[in-house]
Copies of this chain bind each other. A is one copy, B any other.
Amino acid sequence: MFTKACEYAIRACVIVAQNSLKGNRVSLKEIARAIDSPEAFTAKILQQLVKSKLIYSVQGPQGGFEMLSSNLEKTTLEHIVIAIDGRESFSACVLGLKDCSEINPCPAHKRYKHIKNEFIQMLKNSSLLEMVHDIEEGKAFLKISS
């Protein structure tokens, strides 16, 4: 589905969002610990997210990552996935055919079409704000609940 990098990216964004909502900036170290990911690799992914302007970074002591609270609602899974895996990752033909389309459908096309559409809608509709709310309310978790 998603690459490992993208999974980490989504999880990292949730942590940054959650902290930004509380007015806190989070460091790479804190993020990596919170989402249980390798620090150096996570650093690369955060760089990409910064370049894509989904989050921003502050260097130096007391630095770290944050996002504007006003962006929590606008930023969705779709934005993150496009930034890391690219748009093709979820719009491509399920059988890998270059020229699969409505006119030239692959044998799985008609069966997969509505699922792909729902998936894309899910990505568009899942904002960081909602996901953070779910975590705050104990309805979702990024690690073992404890």
B-binding residues in A (CB < 8 A): 1-2, 4, 7-8, 10-11, 14, 77, 92, 94-97, 99, 104-112, 115, 118-119, 122, 125-126, 131-132, 134-135, 139-145
* Copies of this chain, whole number: 2
Provide the bound-state CA to CA distance between A72 and B2, in Å. Answer: 31
For this complex, 13 residue pairs linking A to B, each with C-beta atoms less than 8 Å apart, are A2-B96, A7-B96, A11-B96, A14-B107, A97-B142, A104-B141, A104-B144, A104-B145, A106-B141, A110-B134, A111-B125, A115-B115, A115-B122
- Given A2-B94, A94-B2, residue A122 in contact with residue B111 (CB < 8 A): yes
In the assembled complex, the Cα of A23 lies from the Cα of B51 at a distance in Å of 57
Interface centre among A8, A94, A99 (most CB of B within 10 A): A94
B1, B77, B107, B118: the one within 8 Å of A118 (CB): B118
Q: Give chain B nearest CB distance to A89 CB in angstroms.
A: 9
User: Once bound together, how far apart are the Cα atoms of A86 and B8, in whole Å?
Assistant: 22
